[in-house]
Homo-oligomer: A and B are copies of this chain.
Amino acid sequence: MNATFSALAEPNRLQIVELLRHRPLPVGGIAHRLRMRQPQVSKHLRVLSEAGLVQVRPVAQQRIYGLRAEGLKELDDWLEGYRRLWGERFEQLDDVLSDLQQEKGNTNGNRK
């Protein structure tokens, strides 16, 4: 999961993902459209690939990169645990205040 976020944290890598949303593309096609140099694109694709966000299919000398559904679904699943946050009003003030009582003596970041 962490690999997913750090992969998408890089602006160019995020651009690549958004580009591949429309259709799979060979490395050169990606480089051309995003005005990036081929080696960088290859490196970024490597990271995206290791994060499971992208998959390759070789055709002749080119390698066609496309999005990998499972990788993005993983992100979607992670979000599942947070969906209750919007659309509902919860976590009343009282709850917060009662939580504060439990924090007595646990302050100031003493480790262990």
Which A residues contact B (CB, under 8 angstroms)?
1-2, 5-6, 8-9, 11, 14, 21, 23-29, 31-32, 35-39, 41, 57, 59, 62, 64, 66-67, 69-70, 72-73, 75-76, 79, 81-83, 85-86, 91, 95-97, 99-100, 102-103, 106-112
State in angstroms the CA–CA spacing of A41 and B107 once bound together: 12
Number of copies of this protein chain within its complex: 2
The answer to whether B83 and A29 have CB atoms under 8 Å apart is no
The residues of B that contact A59 with a CB separation of less than 8 Å are 96-97, 100
A66's closest neighbor in chain B, by CB?
B91
Least CB distance from A74 to B in Å reads: 10
The answer to whether A69 and B85 have CB atoms under 8 Å apart is yes
